[in-house]
Amino acid sequence: MQQVQVGIFLFDEVEVLDFAGPYEVFSRTRLTPGVESRRSDETAPFKVFTVAAESRTITATGGLRVIPDYDFAAAPPIDLLVVPGGFGTRALLHDAPVLDWIRRTAAGAVRVTSVCSGALLLAQAGLLAGRRATTHWGALDLLASLDPTIRVEANVRLVDDGITTSAGVSAGIDMALAVVEVMQGRVVADDTARYMEYDRRLPPTAR
């Protein structure tokens, strides 16, 4: 089986659930339903890995220390890019290597997604120009100010307009399940949610 390569971007002060929610969803999806299929990767349609600018340990919000799988230079091709949010995004809004990497990776990806204030990085990289998009409720104004051509939507769980942006923190779980549904079908997405004992919120714009 050809696995979809899922690259999750990590950086200092990334919000824990922003990356851990999609990480959980994509890494635990199986084409065979139930619990036992999760003991191996045999029917795993996604291969998940983390990428950071450098290979050093990342400190997420709250102090959680995560070792990225790859730095920018060593990362394999990415089919599905996940850009999480967190207060750490603010320091990256003028980080040229990060924005360049996001732009280049997005150009080669089948699908580009963000969680929470990760949308700010996509906007600053120019990827949301002219598109509808959303972000954490506390970052909606900042998102609009970064690029006035973005049609910022409030009070939605996610927006899919070529690029998939989601609302804050926990909305990344719904975003990831929505992507699983688009790529692997509703039965697989619902089984993954059942495994996680997660009641999916129907994203009003994407379903």
Q: Residues 94, 129: contact at Cβ < 8 Å?
A: no
Residues in region 85-124 near a second copy by CB under 8 A: 87
Task: Enumerate residues 6+ apart whose C-beta is below 8 A from 191.
Answer: 30, 33, 34
- Per the residue annotation, which of 51, 116, 146, 150 is the catalytic one? 116
Residues in region 121-150 near a second copy by CB under 8 A: 136-138
Note whether 196 binds a second copy by CB under 8 A. Answer: yes
Run of H or E including 70: strand 70-71
Note whether 1 binds a second copy by CB under 8 A. Answer: no
Note whether 61 binds a second copy by CB under 8 A. Answer: yes
Run of H or E including 175: helix 171-184
Q: Which is nearer to a second copy, 35 or 73 (CB)?
A: 35
Q: Which is nearer to a second copy, 10 or 127 (CB)?
A: 10
Out of 103, 132, 151, 201, the only residue in the binding site for a second copy (CB under 8 A) is 201
Half-sphere exposure in the Cβ direction for 106 (13 Å, CA): 22
Note whether 176 binds a second copy by CB under 8 A. Answer: no
Out of 12, 31, 33, 38, the only residue in the binding site for a second copy (CB under 8 A) is 38
Read off the amino acid at residue 164.
T
Rounded to a whole number of angstroms, the minimum distance from the CB of residue 2 to a second copy is 18
Tell me the C-alpha distance between 138 and 41, whole Å: 38
Tell me the C-alpha distance between 59 and 190, whole Å: 32
Number of residues that make up the chain: 207
Q: What residues make contact with a second copy under the rule CB under 8 A?
A: 15-17, 20-21, 23-24, 27-28, 34-35, 38-39, 48-50, 57, 61-67, 69, 87, 136-138, 167-171, 173, 195-199, 201
